[in-house]
Structure formats: C-alpha cells, structure tokens
C-alpha cells in the first residue's frame, strides 16, 4: 500500500512500454455490451492524487486489493485519458500493459496466471484536469481579494481569478481519475489522499482523518475510508472555500461555498437538516455516514447536482440563495435539489442499480421523493401540482416514436449518458406515484424499507423493488408496475358514461388496493356506468411488430374514477375494454387526483360538462384536464381550441399554481404562432391569440397584484412571475409600461427591485428592448459582480426579440465577458425568441460552442436548440450536424428533436387554422 509518496516521483518517470497483450481483441477481453469481465472484483482502493492546476494535470498512485474468482492471466479494468507509468501485480512488474481508447480499458498482463483469491495491483499514473464537468475538472471564477471584495469589484487589491477543483464521475468518468472497475456493481471501499495548495481546503465523501503540512506550504489531506460504494460516487473537491455546518443527530451537515458566500448557504443547510430526519424515518435505515456535505460549485453545467455519497456536488445556481435576489422559484428549486440528492443517499448510494438499464431506480425514485419531502415540509407549495409540468414533459416525450421504456437496454457509457432524460426521471416518478396510490402509502413505504435493508451496500434491480413492495402486502403489484416500466409509450383511456346505471358503488376488492374493483365489475344501486377502452397515445406513427401479442400492447391500468358532486371508485383496466360504476350522476372525471400515468379522452358532451363545472374540480384535476385536452388537441384527437375554452372557464381566483402553468402553456402556443408568422401575422391569427391570452391572464395579475400582500404565500409569487413573463410575451401594454416604470427606478443596484418580480421585470424589458434600453441593461449586467445576479442578468439579455441585438448577445457568449458555463443558458434564451438565429450561430461556431459544454450537454445541446423550430428543413440540418459531430451511439437526443420538429410543423400547419376559426368566433373580451 503506498504511503506518503515514497518513491512516487521516480515511479511516475518510468513509463512501461505496451507489449504483447494476452487478449486477442477487446471483444475477447470484455464481457458483452462493453462491460468488463466479471472474473475480478475490487475490494479496496488506496489512492493518492497530486493536482497541478497551472499545468492542467495531476499525478496519482493507487493500490487496489482485488478478489479473483477464476484463474486469469490478465487484469482488465477501466482507464480513460490516463497514462499508466508503473504497474505491478502482487508486487511484480506487469508483463504487459495495453490500453484501448475505444473500450476505455487497460489490460494488465500478470507475470504468471493469477489463481483465485486475494491479489493486489499498484499503478502510478498521470491524468488531465478537464475544463468541463467530467473526471477531475477545474472551475475558474471571480474570487475574493485580500480586503474582502469581489475580484473586479470596487475594492482594491483584486488578485487573479480563483480556481476550484471538483469531480464528476457519473456515468463513466471515474476512469478519468483513476484506473478502476468503473461499473455500478463493482462496489469497493476507498481511502483517498490529496495534496492541496497552501490555504486551500479539500473535501471528499468522508471526514478528514489527518492533514500533513509540507515544507513547501502544501498539505497532504488524508480522508477516512468510505463505505462500500460504486466508483461513480467518489468525490474530491479542492479550493479556497468556507464551510457552514449544522448538526442533525449524529450527522454533521455542511455546505461548502466559495469564500464570501456563506450567507447564501443558509436555506440549503436548514432544508437538509429538516429533511434528514424525515428520510431516516421513511427509509427505516438511518443515514450511515458521519457527515453530509453539499459542495456549491461556481458556474453551471448540463446537470444541476450529483449525489456523491456524503459529498453532494451542486452548481451554485441550484444550491445557493441570495436573500436580496432570491424569488419563490429559486427557493423551490433549491429545496427540490437538496431533497432529490439526499434521497439518492439511499436510492442510488446505499442501494445502487446493478447496471445502467435500471438508472430509473435512482432518478425516478429521487424525483418522487423530492415531492414527498415537499409535501411534508412545505405542503402550502402544493408539491404534486409543482411536479405536474415535469410529468407532462415525460408524457409528451412518451407519445413520440423516439421514446423508450423506463427500463431500457444500455450498451455503453455514451448510451448511459443519454438515459438521463424525461422518461427516466419524470415517467419514473409518475409510475412510482401511481403504484403508491394503488397499493397505499403504508404498504409502499414498508416495501421500500424491506428493499433498503435487504440490499444495503449492494446492488439491486427493478424487480427487487417490486418484489419487496409485494411482500409488504401489495398483491400483484408486479402486474401494474412491470407494464409501465418495460413497455414504451403512454396509454390513452377513452371513457364514456351513462347516468342511471342499475348499480351502486362496487364493493368487491381488486387485488392490491382496498376498495378497488376490476374494470369488468358491475354493482347494485344507482350511479354512472362507465365504459373504458385503452390504446396507445401517439403523436406520430408507431410500428408494433406483428409477432407481438395483443397483451404486449396493453397495460394494466389503475383508473381512479369520480363524478362531480358524487362518489369515487377505482377500476383496474387490464383488457382492451372494461366497465365500472361510479356513485352519482354528475359529470364524470377519469384519473381523479391525477395519480395515473395515462391520457384521458372524453366525448365532446362529457368534456363540455367538465368545463362547465371546472370550478368544482380540485386544482390538480383542472390542470390534468388542461394537459390532456392540450395534448389531444395538438395531436388532432380533439379540437385544439378545447383547451383554450377550458382556460377561459377558469376563475381569476383559481389556484395560483394552475394559473402559473396556464401562463406557461399560453406562451408555448404563442411560440407556434411566432414560428408561423416569421414576422408577418398571417390573417391576424397571432394578433387574435394574443388578445385572447391578454384577456384571460390580465385579470389574474390584477387579482393578485404586482406586489406581495400579507398571507398570499409562495404559490402566488410563482404565479405572479409567470403572469408577468407571459403578458410581456403577448405584448400586454399595461404590463410593459409597468415593467419599464419599475426598472427605471434604479438601474444600477441589482437589489433595487423586489426579489419576487426582479427577474421577470428585467426579462420583459429586455424582450422588447431597443438599442438604448439594451445598452442600459447590458451595462447593468456587466457591472454586476455577484455571480448569481450576473448570470441572471446575462440570461435575461438573451430574451431580446430584435435580431440584431440578439446577435450581439450570441457574440458575447464566446468572449471572456461571459463565463464559459453561463454561455449555454444564454444561447438557449436567445433560441426562445430567435430559434433560427441561434441555430445558425451554433452551427457556425461548433467547436467554440462545444467548448462551453460538459459531457452531459454535448450531444443534447444542439438538438435542444434545433427543436425550437417548426421548419421541417431544420430536421435535415440537425441530421447533417449529427453525421459530422455525434457518434451513432449518442444520437437518441437527435431522434427526439427531429420528432419534435416534425410534430411542431404539423401543429402549425394543421391545428392553428382551427384555433384561428375558434378565436374569430369568440367575443373580443372575456
């Protein structure tokens, strides 16, 4: 085992030449699907790392204890972008060292075949400090000078920009930091040491064990050994940071921030402290590490946070709050990030998926758990309403031909990177919510506790979770859950109702839920008889191979049913059709409570009856009805105007979260019109739509007001923000005038405007800015030294509609004026108003733009910009870009974007004319 770098320098100067390998090819060395052979398991890594930030490199030495299951002449492990300088096996120099770039492996030949049992591998190596978020990477940011001021601010004495080193290893980038078995199932313990510069602090998964001062001012930091865990959860951070802490039982919770930002960490710290006790109880297994740190990394990336065990890394925008600048949305976002990543400490870290096909076990569960935590600690936020847009995004993606099952085959690290999408996170969340609603909260929680205890410090599969829930008392849960995680697509349940059925509420019990009845059950007494029919809801043609049996195209669907003013029942639809009876004769609502993952289609009279009684529906059902009618309208299975009629029926005092999401939806519809008009409003359609949108939204903003009132709560603040943005988008003159008036009060102090309206006001003014106003806002952004405020202001500039000014914003993204990690967000903002301009810019500067992207963004960013278009030619442009720049294994996002472009074009061509006709028939005012 290497100790304090004895002989380290000499070892690193010895490069072992690659000689003949004992594997004839990579495919012989590796198991199927690009995975390592299963004959060797790592037990423990003892690792020492010496970074050289100025050179952009690091040196490492690792001692690995391994267990060999069957005799082997070679040791095959993962290694990417590393130079292996010295390799020994059981103390003897390796007979051969062969590295394969394509498979990201190193094959180490032993002097003699290794017998089953314990062995050791020692490797001295060198690596690269990356500039984007993969492996060990550096972040450059504005530091704090000796007098306490921000570099570049008004105080004197500013030094050079500061740097922080952090790591990001998911899905397969631990191999860029050390040679290792970089697969989820290859769990081991880690002992990490790092040579840190003088005055800088090192952070890892575990507390510091010892800190040795060196003669040159550096210090060698040794951390305590980790629990048994997967390689992608290892973490190292080094920088000029401060740490604020709180105690939660036996666990010390800390937030690590760049120097001078401690005050912005308070909300995250308080949130984490409150959540830990809740999670300890829910999972039935206390958090097992002595500390839990949140590391706030400067800048931004293609992801918000990473659940490293005991050392969660999040970018500042998702973890820190400036009390003078933070609005309700920022507080909610920080809460969600903290709750999500903390859930991973159990689902993902303590129990890890066996392979990346089951990634949803990590992400879907953590997404669901963040809503559960919000329900417990902030019920006034209406967490399931908050979660609805994300689940709606999953439903829309699931209707495309490019969708995939929740549990999907993953054959490579590139494919694993692409699996972090709406289906994995948000459909996964929706399926878990549906299962819990079906089996009951207590049964589901008990199943989760069984799963945790049975698989702690190990790996598990989707079936292991459902088996544990079944054992807790949820009979036949596998039937429902397996259908929704193994079959791609989303069901469409068509309902027809007849009042005056000869039966009452069914009393028979369906397996799995108290009070539920099979969809074929009849009842005795009065009520509404319901006919149900299921099909796959698709917005583009989906080919189902002929060899598939009909049952492979169907789901076992739990369908909650209710009548307005009447009763409820639960049906389990397992066949193509079914029947159920619901107490009462009011309008029928399917998917009552919106716990089911499916679309609902009503006949025209039934839908109109729900619109007429919309004020009697729960807020979550109002929103579910809106989302289903909008999706079916865009797909041509309803009139697209039906969703607009539903919105017009809502009262101004409806739940603020409903209005928040209505405002966002109307902005999306306006984008369809914008893409059709290309600057010229054909037939006045967009003018009429914007008048309609102003007519429904302006009274709501007038009802809640521009300024917070006592007792309104955070939900009203979020709605206010969305309403101001939406009314600005549809050119409401009163909104524009008021925004300009409020911004004119003080354009030099970023805290002058109230936090709740500051960003929407600036964005609306920027959106409509002329040259003089743009110059004023640009000066405000460039003079702002606070990192969070500066990022917000530059992204707001991207909203400008004027193409010439938008081009100036795009040009800024490739200059030192804009931080590299902020540039992608600015380009996305420009694409919202000027999608063609943004596309031409990124394709004209491919290399420069890709230099601003981290691994999680690289293959998705260009696709995300392209999908803003409704021009079919853009799909061809995207395909040409992919052919030149994206490997075949990384084109899932390209396929999704191409489908979205085609769908948007169809909506513009086929659906907007119908909306035009509806709008023309409506009264001018609400």
Residue 243 has pLDDT above 80, yes or no: yes
pLDDT tens per residue across span 183-193: 999 999 999 99
- 57-71, 89-103, 147-161, 607-621: segment of lowest average pLDDT: 147-161
Asked if residue 340 belongs to a known ligand binding site, the reply is: yes
The 3 state secondary structure assigned to 263-316 is: HHHHHHHHHHHHHHHHHHHHHCCCCCCCEEEEEEECCCCCCCEECCCCEEEEEH
Asked if residue 63 belongs to a known ligand binding site, the reply is: no
Asked if residue 301 belongs to a known ligand binding site, the reply is: no
Fold of domain 1-144+160-239: Immunoglobulin-like (2.60.40)
- 59-73, 173-187, 505-519, 546-560: segment of lowest average pLDDT: 505-519
Residue 651 has pLDDT above 90, yes or no: yes
Residue 717 has pLDDT above 60, yes or no: yes
CA–CA distance, 605 with 587 (Å, rounded to integer):
10
Pick the CATH number of 490-644 from 3.40.470.10, 2.40.160.20, 3.40.50.1360, 2.60.40.1910: 2.60.40.1910
Mean pLDDT of 365-374: 93
Starting at the edge strand found earlier in the chain, the sheet holding 72-78 runs: 72-78, 105-114, 96-100
Asked if residue 344 belongs to a known ligand binding site, the reply is: yes
Fold of domain 346-486: Neutral Protease; domain 2 (1.10.390)
Task: Tell me if domain 346-486 and domain 490-644 are identical in fold.
Answer: no
Q: What's the pLDDT score for residue 670?
A: 93
Using an 8 Å Cβ cutoff, are 277 and 248 in contact?
A: yes
Q: What's the pLDDT score for residue 255?
A: 97
Between residues 725 and 710, which one has the greater pLDDT? 725
Asked if residue 307 belongs to a known ligand binding site, the reply is: yes
CA–CA distance, 43 with 187 (Å, rounded to integer):
7
Angstrom CA distances, 35 to 44, 96, 182, 420, 708, stand at 20, 21, 9, 19, 56
SS3 content of the chain, % helix, strand, coil (to 5): 45, 20, 35
Q: What's the pLDDT score for residue 310?
A: 97
Mean pLDDT of 258-265: 90
Q: What's the pLDDT score for residue 31?
A: 43
Q: Is the dihedral of CA 48, 54, 57, 59 positive or negative?
A: negative
Q: What's the pLDDT score for residue 391?
A: 92
> pLDDT confidence of 856, banded at 50, 70, 90?
low
Asked if residue 170 belongs to a known ligand binding site, the reply is: yes
pLDDT tens per residue across span 890-915: 787 888 888 888 889 899 999 999 99
Mean pLDDT of 166-188: 94
Q: What is the mean pLDDT of the chain?
A: 86
Residue 299 has pLDDT above 80, yes or no: no
Asked if residue 306 belongs to a known ligand binding site, the reply is: yes
- 125-134, 377-386, 412-421, 908-917: segment of lowest average pLDDT: 412-421
Asked if residue 252 belongs to a known ligand binding site, the reply is: no
pLDDT tens per residue across span 399-412: 988 888 888 887 76
Return all residues near 903 (Cβ < 8 A) that are at least 6 apart.
Answer: 400, 539, 540, 634
Q: What's the pLDDT score for residue 750?
A: 57
Using an 8 Å Cβ cutoff, are 312 and 294 in contact?
A: yes
Starting at the edge strand found earlier in the chain, the sheet holding 577-582 runs: 577-582, 527-537, 490-501, 599-602
Q: What's the pLDDT score for residue 410?
A: 77
Mean pLDDT of 451-465: 95
Asked if residue 151 belongs to a known ligand binding site, the reply is: no
Please pick, among 61, 183, 328, 341, the residue that the annotation labels catalytic: 341
CA–CA distance, 472 with 450 (Å, rounded to integer):
8
Q: What's the pLDDT score for residue 447?
A: 95
Which residue, among 769, 766, 743, has the nearest Cα to 754 in the 3D structure? 743
Which pair of tokens denotes residue 731?
A: 């050119």
Q: What's the pLDDT score for residue 789?
A: 82
Q: Can 341 be counted among the known catalytic residues?
A: yes
Number of H helices, E strands in the chain: 31, 30
Domain ranges of the chain: 1-144+160-239, 346-486, 490-644, 853-926
- 41-50, 149-158, 423-432: segment of lowest average pLDDT: 149-158
Mean pLDDT of 471-478: 85
> pLDDT confidence of 676, banded at 50, 70, 90?
confident
């Amino acid at each position: 085992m290497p100790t304090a770098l004895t002989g380290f320098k000499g070892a690193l100067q010895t490069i072992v030449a690659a000689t003949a390998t004992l594997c004839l090819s990579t495919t012989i060395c590796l198991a199927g699907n690009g995975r390592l052979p299963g004959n060797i398991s790592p037990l423990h890594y003892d690792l020492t790392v010496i970074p050289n930030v100025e050179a952009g490199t690091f040196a490492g030495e690792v001692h690995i204890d391994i267990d060999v299951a069957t005799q082997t002449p070679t040791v095959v492990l993962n290694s990417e972008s590393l130079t292996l300088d010295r390799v020994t096996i059981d103390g003897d120099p390796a007979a051969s060292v062969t590295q394969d770039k394509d498979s990201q492996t190193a094959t180490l030949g032993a002097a003699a075949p290794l017998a089953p049992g314990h062995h050791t591998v020692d490797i001295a190596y060198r690596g690269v400090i990356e500039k984007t978020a993969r492996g060990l990477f550096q972040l450059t940011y504005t530091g704090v000078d000796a007098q306490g001021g921000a570099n570049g601010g008004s105080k004197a004495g500013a030094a050079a920009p500061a740097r922080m080193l952090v790591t990001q290893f998911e899905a397969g980038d631990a191999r860029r930091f050390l040679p290792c078995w970089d697969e989820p199932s290859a769990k081991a313990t880690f002992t990490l040491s790092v040579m840190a510069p003088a005055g800088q602090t090192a952070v890892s998964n575990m507390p510091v064990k010892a800190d040795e001062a060196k003669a040159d001012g550096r210090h060698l930091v040794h951390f305590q050994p980790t629990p048994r865990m997967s390689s992608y959860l290892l973490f190292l951070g080094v920088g000029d940071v401060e740490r604020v802490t709180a105690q939660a039982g036996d666990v010390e919770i800390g937030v690590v921030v760049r120097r001078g930002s401690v005050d912005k960490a308070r909300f995250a710290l308080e949130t984490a402290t409150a959540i830990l006790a809740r999670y300890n109880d829910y999972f039935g297994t206390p958090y097992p590490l002595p500390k839990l740190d949140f590391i706030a990394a400067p800048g931004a990336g293609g992801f918000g946070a990473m659940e490293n065990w005991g050392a969660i890394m999040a970018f500042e925008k998702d973890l820190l709050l400036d009390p003078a600048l933070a609005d309700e949305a920022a507080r909610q976002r920080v809460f969600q990030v903290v709750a999500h990543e903390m859930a991973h400490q159990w689902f993902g870290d303590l129990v890890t998926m066996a392979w990346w096909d089951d990634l949803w076990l990590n992400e879907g569960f953590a997404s669901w758990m963040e809503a559960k935590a919000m329900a417990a600690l902030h019920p006034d936020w209406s967490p399931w309403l908050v979660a609805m847009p994300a689940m709606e995004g999953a439903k829309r993606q699931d209707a495309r031909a490019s969708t995939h099952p929740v549990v999907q085959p993953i054959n490579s690290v590139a494919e694993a990177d692409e699996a972090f999408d709406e289906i994995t996170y948000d459909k996964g969340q929706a399926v878990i919510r549906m299962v819990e609603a079906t089996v009951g909260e207590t049964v589901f929680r008990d199943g989760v506790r069984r799963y945790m205890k049975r698989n702690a410090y190990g790996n598990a599969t989707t079936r292991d979770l459902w088996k544990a829930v079944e054992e807790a008392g949820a009979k036949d849960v596998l039937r429902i859950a397996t259908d929704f995680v193994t079959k791609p697509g989303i069901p469409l349940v068509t309902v027809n109702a007849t009042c005056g059925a000869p039966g009452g509420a069914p009393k028979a019990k369906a397996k799995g839920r108290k009070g539920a009845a099979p969809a074929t059950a009849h009842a005795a007494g009065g009520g509404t008889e319901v006919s149900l029919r299921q099909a796959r809801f698709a917005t583009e043609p989906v080919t189902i191979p002929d060899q598939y049996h009909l049952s492979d195209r169907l789901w076992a669907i739990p369908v909650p049913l209710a009548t307005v003013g009447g009763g409820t029942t639960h049906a389990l639809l397992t066949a193509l059709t079914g029947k159920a009876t619901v107490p009462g004769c009011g309008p029928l609502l399917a998917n009552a409570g919106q716990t089911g993952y499916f679309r609902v289609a009503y006949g025209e009279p039934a839908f109109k009856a729900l619109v007429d009684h919309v004020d009697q529906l729960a807020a979550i059902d109002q929103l579910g009805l809106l989302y289903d009618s909008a999706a079916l309208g865009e797909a041509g299975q309803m009139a697209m105007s039906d969703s607009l009629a539903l919105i017009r029926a809502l009262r101004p005092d409806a739940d603020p979260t409903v209005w928040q999401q209505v405002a966002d939806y109307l902005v999306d519809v306006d984008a369809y019109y914008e893409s059709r008009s290309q600057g010229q409003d054909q037939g006045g359609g967009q003018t009429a739509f914007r008048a309609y949108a102003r007519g429904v939204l302006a009274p709501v903003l007038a009802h809640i007001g521009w300024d917070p009132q006592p007792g309104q709560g955070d939900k009203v603040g979020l709605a206010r923000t969305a309403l101001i943005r939406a009314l600005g988008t549809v050119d409401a003159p009163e909104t524009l005038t008021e925004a300009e008036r409020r911004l004119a009060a003080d354009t030099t102090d970023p805290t002058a405007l109230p936090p709740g309206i500051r960003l929407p006001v600036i964005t609306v003014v920027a959106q409509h800015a002329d040259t003089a106003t743009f110059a004023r806002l640009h000066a405000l952004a460039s003079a702002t030294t606070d990192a969070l405020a500066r990022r917000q202001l530059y992204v707001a500039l991207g909203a400008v509609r004027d193409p010439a000014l938008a081009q100036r914003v795009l040009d800024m993204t490739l200059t030192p004026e804009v931080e590299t990690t902020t540039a992608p967000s600015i380009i996305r903002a420009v694409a919202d108003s000027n999608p063609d301009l943004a596309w031409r810019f990124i394709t004209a500067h491919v290399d420069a733009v890709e230099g601003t992207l981290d691994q999680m963004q690289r293959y998705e960013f260009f696709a995300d910009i392209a999908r803003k278009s409704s021009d079919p030619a853009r799909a061809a442009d995207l395909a040409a870009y992919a052919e030149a720049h994206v490997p075949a294994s990384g084109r899932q996002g390209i396929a999704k974007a191409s489908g979205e472009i085609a769908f948007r074009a169809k909506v513009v061509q086929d659906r907007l004319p119908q909306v035009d006709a509806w709008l023309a028939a409506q009264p001018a005012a609400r």
